Structure 1
Amino acid sequence: MTTALWQKWRWDGLGIGLAGLCLVHCLATAIFLVALASAGGVLFDPIIHEIGLMLAIGFGLLSLGKGILQHGFMMPAAIGALGIGVMSGALSLPHGESEMLYTVLGVILLALGHDLNHRAAH
């Protein structure tokens, strides 16, 4: 990968990767809890979700903000911000199906924002 291409892809790639890890965490937690209900206390610890949200916000600000300055399109950042908002709102819900549904929806929206940002840069 050339240096210029790597610099364009770096933050969006990290953002999409983080969104993917979040999605895998949510789905793996649900599957794991079906198999081992006693593990729920560790994997559903709120600090994991709070740290993940902080990372998503940080990567979103860096990548999507840089994208606005680079290509001038607001839509990727708006979609990414909506995803972060949905993920933030999910933290206020009690653990369960609703929280997981909104978290996954937020992660998908954020990943879509990063993907659109990456496409707009090229």
Structure 2
Amino acid sequence: MQRTTPSATWLSGRPSLRRRLDQFGIGLAGLCMVHCIATLAVVSALGLGGHFLLEPAIHRVGLAFALVLAALAIGWGAIRHRHAAPLLTATIGLVFMGVALAVAHGFDEMVLTLVGVVLVSAGHLMNLRAAH
């Protein structure tokens, strides 16, 4: 019977934590997509919720979360599996999301954000696959 030390348990748990961070990043990207599409639909169709749903702070906070999650999960994965594609894909997606903050609310912003979100999600998926 082999005994595990607390540090050995922590080390063996790292891939699981990284995997959960990637999965959370994918979930966050999905929520962002729903927010973009729902905002456009609700504001256009009903004229309601524009003051809250189009609030720039929501987009800045979302981008900040995406940056932190990508840096942790994909950066950590890149160090472990030595594949640059997930990191490059997610970085390009984050740039798209950042550019979306600089344009006026509307269709262009939504397209830039959705392209960015899809690329960040793809980076997380690639990171999960590269880890196996």
Q: TM-score, normalised by structure 1?
A: 0.93
1:29 aligns with 2:42: no
Residue equivalent to 1:40: 50
1:56 aligns with 2:66: yes
Q: TM-score, normalised by structure 2?
A: 0.86
Report if the CA contact (8 A) 2:74-2:86 is conserved.
Answer: yes
d(CA) in 2 for partners of 1:113 and 1:28?
Answer: 24
Residue equivalent to 1:112: 122
Identity among equivalent positions (%) equals 41
d(CA) in 2 for partners of 1:65 and 1:34?
Answer: 38
Name structure 2 gaps, 5 residues minimum.
1-12
d(CA) in 1 for partners of 2:94 and 2:14?
Answer: 28
Name structure 1 gaps, 5 residues minimum.
none
SS at 2:49 equivalent? helix
What's the RMSD between the two structures over aligned residues?
A: 1.3
How many residues matched?
A: 120
Larger Rg: 2
Residue equivalent to 2:97: 87
AA partner of residue 128 (structure 2): H
Render the CA deviation track for 1:26-60: whole Å, top value 9, x for unaligned: 11111211332131111000000000000000001
SS at 2:105 equivalent? coil
d(CA) in 1 for partners of 2:15 and 2:66?
Answer: 22
Report if the CA contact (8 A) 1:8-1:121 is conserved.
Answer: no
